[in-house]
């Protein structure tokens, strides 16, 4: 059974989470509040955890111009739906799904929501603990591979 995932936030953490989950068979959509999310990509603040990681790898700010377009192209390759100008306003677990309230007025149901916006941590809201564990494990393995 394919699980549906909404990733809120089009920065590095959100894009990496979306790509990681899509590569592991999840059906993923990504929303970002930026009105024009294109190959120019979202703004990346390099003093957040992803920026520290880039500096530790020795690429720092030079990576910004190459990283964001590469992530955007990878999301396209993985057939991840990206909706710009849309923000997650709230979410709540209801029965066997998580209900997402979006700024475009839509209410949508997902099995898992990954919030990767506004701070340095990922937050996962899942319809069940097994699904949450699968997603956390997939993301952790990807992050561990970079360290």
- Separation CA 60–CA 143 (nearest Å): 18
Domains of the chain, first to last? 4-145 (3.50.50.60)
C-alpha span between 102 and 31 (Å, rounded): 9
CA distance 100 to 41: 24
Instruction: Check if the beta carbon of residue 124 is closer than 8 Å to that of residue 113.
Output: yes
Q: What is the mean pLDDT of residues 135-144?
A: 79
Per-residue pLDDT of 4-38, as tens digits, reads 999 999 887 888 889 999 999 999 999 998 876 55
Instruction: Please state the pTM of the whole predicted model.
Output: 0.79
CB of 104 closer than 8 Å to CB of 96: no
Tell me which of 76 and 56 has the higher pLDDT. 76
């Amino acid at each position: 059974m394919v699980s549906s995932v909404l990733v809120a936030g089009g920065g590095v953490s959100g894009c990496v989470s979306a790509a990681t989950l899509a590569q592991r068979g999840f059906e993923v959509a990504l929303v970002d509040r930026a009105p024009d999310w294109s190959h120019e990509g979202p703004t990346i603040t390099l003093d957040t955890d992803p920026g520290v990681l880039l500096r530790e790898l020795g690429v720092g700010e030079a990576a910004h111009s190459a990283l964001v377009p590469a992530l955007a192209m990878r999301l396209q390759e993985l057939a991840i739906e990206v909706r710009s100008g849309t923000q997650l306003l709230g979410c709540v677990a209801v029965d066997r799904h998580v209900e997402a309230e979006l700024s475009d007025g839509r209410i949508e149901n997902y099995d898992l929501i990954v919030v990767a916006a506004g701070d340095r941590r990922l937050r996962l809201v899942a319809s069940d603990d097994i699904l949450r564990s699968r997603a956390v494990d997939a993301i952790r393995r990807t992050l561990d591979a970079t360290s």
